[in-house]
Amino acid sequence: MKELAFASIKILSEKLARKECSVQELRDFFYNRFERYDTKLGSALELFDKNSVMPQKNQGTLFGIPGLIKDNICQKGRALTCASRILEGFTAPYDATAITRLKNQGALLIGRANMDEFAMGSSTETSAFKKTVNPWNAACVPGGSSGGSAAAVAAGLVPWALGSETGGSVRQPAALCGIVGIKPTYGLVSRYGLVAYCSSFDQIGVVTRTVSDNALILSVMAGRDAMDSTTVHHDIATDYTVRLEKNIKKNLKIGVIDNAFNIEGMGKSSRSLFENSLKEFEKLGAEIVHLSLPTMDYGAAVYFMLSRAEAASNLARFDGVRYGFRASDIHDLTDLYFKTRGEGFGQEVKRRIFIGNYVLSAGHADQYYQSAKKVQAIMRAEFVEAFKKVDLLYAPTSPAPAFKFGAFADNHLEMDLQDYFTAPANIVGVPAISVPCGFVNNMPLGFQLIGPDFSEHLLYQVAHAYEQATPWHTMHPRGFEE
């Protein structure tokens, strides 16, 4: 059982196939790692009773491979909280489509990952239940909102995990924890069973330590689902693990979004890591083109408006009647709503519901919501235009490595600037992958490649070639030894 903690899914599968270890042994190995390390890391809200975790099928591409699921994705018969008190006591009545597909391939879903409450945040600090620390430095946040998922994978507690993206919640924690994270094209993965935050942006995403592992998990989940009418309508080939090679395709053009580098808060060392990664791409034979996407500068504002608006509508269903928590000492219906929502939601969630209702309110909807929708259309057009000139776009995933806990406590609007880099892909609907590109003061940093609709295969190919040419995926945080 040596060197399993940071092994790839492929290696773990081979060990199982060669009967070098049994499914139970592999499962117990990772459970032991959680027992040993998760008290300090805080990545999981729950690990399921071991005996209830066995593969549903005796075969499949993920047979016996343990993974952790963000706590806003339904697993039948398991608790689901979105890290919010308002869902305490709620049990998911069905499996999300993504979960069904993973189980059908034999995956072992061992628990629920911590997250920002209802996926609202960039640091996992808004979880109502626990703190998750960054495995590289416990004084720093793991990023968010899928911080539990990213921390667990980076620390070798599990080889893969699911997160969800609305404005960067997979890519940003992946970057801050030094691992790979993808946000697929809107509609590639079913949202059936993913708790809605901002439905027109929400997508399930994947975090792993290598690009090929990431491709494997996404391949299992991707594709049309009758339960989600926004999923792809045409058949698409979804085995993203094929043709991942050391080279990239000839004449690949990567467009560097120059205006994304004029951002306050990007230090010299971060900048030079990004520059080095571009040199690496040149060595691989890519042509680097510089361009600017002026609408990107409006992304964080558009995201702010639209995400709050949809959140206000989506979260109206948590009223103390249908789900989870209900306040006590209730006298009438209004009292029920006020007390349940007052006690059940955390501050950040309340703030977003207030703002969402405001930007949708009569007299203000035109000014805020409608304007944001118009800018969204202009952004989409600008990105589509850019993809006529280049194959992929390049930008930092985050301007700096992980920040300290409480860094934005007095100014949560500043925290929203984290979304500047990531939210555009969600607004426009295109896929993007974050890949580790080195360290600043021993803390990891990542860049992202953004591609046109359904270009996941190309993203994986290019990311894989970069990964193979660099040492970053072989480096793991200290203190999580086997």
The footprint of ligand GLN (CB under 6 A) covers 119-122, 145, 165-169, 197, 307, 418-419
Among 13, 15, 70, 270, the active-site one is 70
Pinpoint the alpha helices (H) of 390-480. 412-415, 419-428, 456-469
Among 127, 169, 270, 307, the active-site one is 169
Cis peptide before 84 (omega within 30 of 0): no
Partners of 392 in beta bridges = 254
Among 84, 123, 145, 307, the active-site one is 145
Known active-site residue 145: yes
Q: Which is nearer to ligand GLN, 132 or 307 (CB)?
A: 307
Least separation in angstroms between residue 126's CB and ligand GLN is 8
Least separation in angstroms between residue 166's CB and ligand GLN is 3
Query: What is the Cα–Cα distance from 260 to 399, expressed in whole angstroms?
Result: 9
Query: What is the Cα–Cα distance from 160 to 257, expressed in whole angstroms?
Result: 30
Partners of 446 in beta bridges = 436
Instruction: Say which residues have a Cβ less than 8 Å from residue 168's Cβ, sequence separation at least 6.
Output: 122, 183, 397, 418, 419, 421, 422, 423, 425, 426
Q: Which is nearer to ligand GLN, 108 or 221 (CB)?
A: 221
Partners of 47 in beta bridges = 111
Q: Which is nearer to ligand GLN, 169 or 277 (CB)?
A: 169
What is the b/e burial string over 390-422, where b = at least 16 CB atoms within 10 angstroms of the residue's CB?
Answer: bbbbbbbbbbbbbbebeebeeeeeebbbbbbbb
Least separation in angstroms between residue 197's CB and ligand GLN is 6
Q: What's the half-sphere exposure (Cβ side, CA atoms, 13 Å) at 96?
A: 27
Q: Which is nearer to ligand GLN, 29 or 405 (CB)?
A: 405
Least separation in angstroms between residue 417's CB and ligand GLN is 10
Least separation in angstroms between residue 418's CB and ligand GLN is 6
Known active-site residue 373: no
Query: What is the Cα–Cα distance from 395 to 425, expressed in whole angstroms?
Result: 11
Residue 137 per-residue DSSP state? B
- Block residue for tokens 């593969």: 55
Least separation in angstroms between residue 422's CB and ligand GLN is 7
Known active-site residue 212: no
Active site residues: 70, 145, 169
